[in-house]
Structure 1
Amino acid sequence: MTSYFPSIQSFYSREVVSEESHDSSSPAKAGDGFTPSEVEAVTKPLSRRFRPSRHYDVCPIAELQTGPHNYEITGRLVKLYCNASECQPLLGQRITFWATAISAGNQAEIGHIPLCSVATTIYPGRNGATHIQFHVDEPGSEEYRSLRCPLEMSVEQHSQLPGLMTLKSFLAGGYDIGAGKILVCVRSIGPRRSVTSKKKEAVLDLVEVGIYDDTAHCVLKLWQDKISSARPWIPNHTVLLISQPWCGSNDRTNRRIEVSIGYSSMVEVDPDYPEAAWLRHKIQDMAKKESVIVPFPADTWDLQLAMHGSNRTLYTLAEIEDQVRNQDPARNFTGKLNVVVLEMNLMDHWRRASTYCTECCGIPLYANRLTAICKNCEAQRGLSLNPRLLGSFLDESGMISGKKLIWNGDAWNQFLFGAAAKKSPVGYEQGTTVEQSWQNIAASNTDSLRDLESQLLYSRVTLTFGWSLELGRLCILGVEW
């Protein structure tokens, strides 16, 4: 009597093709025995939903014990090395992984990574016992705000981080301290470009991220697999806590102004503790002062009432300063200013091709036309007149810089063309829209712009202004000649 041994094909179920979908005229395609879901589970193991076949204990990283044990661990990425793939992890991303054993990290596994004493291995393929999941949290959600407390800091005490220094101190020599940390804010994100490395004899991708705090600014270089992490960062908002950053010198000036992520570096994105909240608030105040252009706050004032209403007050610059500094500033107010145009920079900015400007990705955009393309996101942006075209205004009590003023679009028209609308060297007619008048300026020649600048210089004008408590700026609502 012969014994029966099952074949390999008997372990796989055959696909049953319905008679409706089967076409007798077309030849049948032989399968390999695997369903599409089984193929995807092997080729894309991270895309499948993990269904644990055993119990896993949820455990924080600080309480892990070496040896065989089923752990479910959730944390955030602070360091990574990986090849380009469909699943690109990001610094600061929340991850969850299921491990079956924890080992004491040796020199080959963890090297000189600070605060790292244990290691584990994940096989998210056919091994159903271990798995890793990369979470994509909605900004502002509870999951997005979780797990943000910095390393080496007690949640209850909020003590000072050891080794934390200002960016200025770090660049001045603090990089020699092995355990140094810097807390910085993202200032700008540059375009992605390729650089030929003579040392590695290869072409590497590079993105330069501008970083700064209240003491200094420099460039953070992101190479290869770190580049994708900068995509969700927001200029003047995202805060980075970098432990043991690498500091390099510029080849031309030999000054240490370039920071990058080294082998022992760790990056914590948007840490949640008082120093980071203070820096973000400080940076936002600095950004208001250094911003290329501030949008006009619409729907804040009734423009017709402010310009032609019965309650109109004529101020001097000194009286406005006293009103803002010494009296109750907890309200917006309007008034009028009678000033002399002391300085105009129209021709200077025309020669520099910076008559119009805006900001995109934290990078200023300048041009002598109404549109420009951002070099970082390659999006076309509309530009506005550069407030730095106006040098300064003067009255009998003081002087104010024109670049600090926020102009309404109609106020620009009234200022540039209201003095001599009939004999204006730049084409202008009554009722011309703001965009049309700005296009007329962009299409003007040098002689016309020079004549316009000379007409405005040393002329006396009445400005209707509104004080914005939120912006801390004077906003020009209208102009009268």
Structure 2
Amino acid sequence: MGGNGKGDASIHAFFPPTPQSSPVKRSATAHIGDGFTADELRTALQPKPAEPWQPPSEYTESDIRDLYPGPKAVTFMGRVCNLFDVANTPKTPRSAKGCVKLCVKDETGAITVRLWYADHMPALRLGSLVSIWTNHISNGENGTLSSASAPLYASLFPERDRSCHLMLHENSDNGSMHKKPLGFRKGQPLARLMTLQSFIDGGCDVLDARILVVVKSIGPKKRVTRKDETVTENISLTVQDDTAEATLGLWGSTAASPLGRAVSESSTNPEAVIVSEGWEAGETILLLQGPGCKLNRSTYLNLTSATTIDVDPDIPDAAWLRHWSVRQRSREAINPPFPEGVFDLTIIRSGPVRCLYTIADLDEVARAAPTETFQGYLSVLITEVKLHEYRKRRMLFAGECCSMPVYANDVVATCKGCDQRVVLRVSPKIIGQVMDETAVVGPGRLLFSDRAWRSLLGREPAGLLKLGDEETRYLSDRLLFCRVTLLFGWTGDESVAGGGICVLDVIA
């Protein structure tokens, strides 16, 4: 191509030269923000704690039997005697996540309460002490909203309706308020109260029959999938009285009642405590009125909509049953704890009166003075030793948890019921029969202290774990047919020592 003399007409003239380096980027401008500080943003994003509920108007305090249907601002207090979940229906408010139906009672009457909740259900349990504020009491219709024992009902939705409220008392509950059953009169027997065996033999057909039982053991909580694919929780309790034994099944929300639970530290309830204790096996008494019953090989009890349950009722029969249960558990314990502070070893060794008893003498004195505590010496011959056998069966050490025996060749084991670690002691049954010239003491009836075990075995109890098979057999043969002197104590309180002979020390 040619040019006209006025300039370079080549193709290169139409394109600027390529720069030797990248163009310099603009420096980023500083982030201006929205004008709020980090502390202000953090405060704004945190949810505001719910304000403590304050009654918007004056509420009349009333006993449950004085309530009557109609609009009126009333407040009452009582204990939860039944609790079960209510399935959602087309009539369920859209803002409600779920509903539970409570039966609340005091010493005068009972009322059914429907409690709706949107975020979470309050930590209610059977036996919980609650206060309720409501502005309307209604009659039940066709038995769907309330039962015959609690004909009136109230409906609460505290998260959406500020005119109603439910307060759960825990820290302020000393366990004495509203503990008497309905119809109880001091000095008179409780109406329709029968033994568990009478209930099984036909008393279950009696309307609103009552049975008084003690919790013997608490099983593990399970998650059960029903036929409709819904999942619920279940826990089974073994209950008993002095005539029979049965299984009580708790489902849904009631399954949490026997177990201790942790209460959130951020709880807005001023009455809340950090830890709430559960029911105790051998201690907790239940008064069941109108329970459901299934009789097969074993007796199965459950709670129906018409059932009421009093936890630790304040009646003389409950105190008697609890005392019976403590004595029974102590008698049946495979390795009860040695009673500390009951006997004085120094007095036995160096006291002015040191009595040598025979087994027959001990039996005679114990029968003549069943409530007395005494101590002395016994000279006995060990005629049976099962040390080697129990080592092979891995039962050298024994304990108890959840009313189940725990055995291991270790000083600590894990309970299969609650997965808690249990401290074990030497099994008393490694020493079988002992005898003197007058009588015989059966296996397990001698309750040895740790000092007595050291004196008898010549080592600490944990030292048995270091022995081999031959060493254990040799020690067992050494003890067999050995005459020893036992420094013993005896107490008539069977809840302390289980009616066994307490061995404080052994002299070979």
Range class of TM-score, shorter chain: 0.7 to 0.9
Which residue pairs with 1:428 in the alignment?
none
Which residue pairs with 1:67 in the alignment?
70
Matches within 5 A, 1:57-456: 57-82=60-85, 85=120, 87-107=122-142, 109-111=144-146, 113-137=147-171, 141=174, 144-154=175-185, 157-197=186-226, 199-231=227-259, 232-249=278-295, 254-307=296-349, 311-327=353-369, 330=372, 332-417=373-458, 432=459, 434=460, 438-456=461-479
- For the structure 1 residues 281 and 31, does the alpha-carbon distance in structure 2 shift closer, same or farther, using more than 3 Å as the test? closer
Q: Aligned partner of 2:246: which letter?
A: C
Whole-angstrom distance in 1 between the partners of 2:235 and 2:343: 43
Q: Aligned partner of 1:462: which letter?
A: T
Whole-angstrom distance in 1 between the partners of 2:428 and 2:370: 29
Give a deviation string over 1:297-354, Cα, whole Å, max 9, x none: 2234442442355642211011112222225854x33211111113333344334433
Displacement of 1:76: 0.3
Q: Aligned partner of 1:129: which letter?
A: S
Whole-angstrom distance in 1 between the partners of 2:41 and 2:363: 84
Contact between 2:71 and 2:137, CA under 8 Å: does it hold in 1?
A: yes
Whole-angstrom distance in 1 between the partners of 2:37 and 2:76: 55
- For the structure 1 residues 61 and 444, does the alpha-carbon distance in structure 2 shift closer, same or farther, using more than 3 Å as the test? same
Displacement of 1:150: 0.6
SS at match of 1:364: strand
Contact between 2:370 and 2:492, CA under 8 Å: does it hold in 1?
A: no
Contact between 1:109 and 1:119, CA under 8 Å: does it hold in 2?
A: no
Whole-angstrom distance in 1 between the partners of 2:380 and 2:164: 73
SS at match of 2:220: coil
Q: Aligned partner of 2:63: which letter?
A: P
Displacement of 1:362: 3.6
Alignment length (residue pairs)? 421
Which residue pairs with 1:478 in the alignment?
505
Whole-angstrom distance in 1 between the partners of 2:71 and 2:244: 48
- For the structure 1 residues 36 and 165, does the alpha-carbon distance in structure 2 shift closer, same or farther, using more than 3 Å as the test? same
- For the structure 1 residues 187 and 328, does the alpha-carbon distance in structure 2 shift closer, same or farther, using more than 3 Å as the test? closer
- For the structure 1 residues 453 and 167, does the alpha-carbon distance in structure 2 shift closer, same or farther, using more than 3 Å as the test? farther
Structure with bigger helix share is 1
Contact between 1:360 and 1:374, CA under 8 Å: does it hold in 2?
A: yes
TM-score, normalized by length of structure 2?
0.75
Contact between 2:428 and 2:447, CA under 8 Å: does it hold in 1?
A: yes
- For the structure 1 residues 244 and 407, does the alpha-carbon distance in structure 2 shift closer, same or farther, using more than 3 Å as the test? same
Contact between 1:192 and 1:376, CA under 8 Å: does it hold in 2?
A: no
- For the structure 1 residues 340 and 190, does the alpha-carbon distance in structure 2 shift closer, same or farther, using more than 3 Å as the test? same
Displacement of 1:202: 3.9
SS at match of 1:378: coil
- For the structure 1 residues 86 and 179, does the alpha-carbon distance in structure 2 shift closer, same or farther, using more than 3 Å as the test? closer
SS at match of 2:384: strand
- For the structure 1 residues 355 and 377, does the alpha-carbon distance in structure 2 shift closer, same or farther, using more than 3 Å as the test? same
Whole-angstrom distance in 1 between the partners of 2:388 and 2:245: 31
- Bigger radius of gyration among the two: 2
Contact between 2:222 and 2:235, CA under 8 Å: does it hold in 1?
A: yes
Contact between 1:247 and 1:256, CA under 8 Å: does it hold in 2?
A: no
Whole-angstrom distance in 2 between the partners of 1:165 and 1:401: 37
Contact between 2:366 and 2:492, CA under 8 Å: does it hold in 1?
A: no
Contact between 1:189 and 1:363, CA under 8 Å: does it hold in 2?
A: no
Give a deviation string over 1:33-86, Cα, whole Å, max 9, x none: x9944xx43xxxxxx422112111111111111111111110000111246946
Gaps of 5+ in 2: 1-33, 86-97, 101-119, 260-277
Gaps of 5+ in 1: 1-21, 42-47, 418-431
Please tell me the root mean square deviation across aligned C-alpha atoms, in Å.
Answer: 2.9
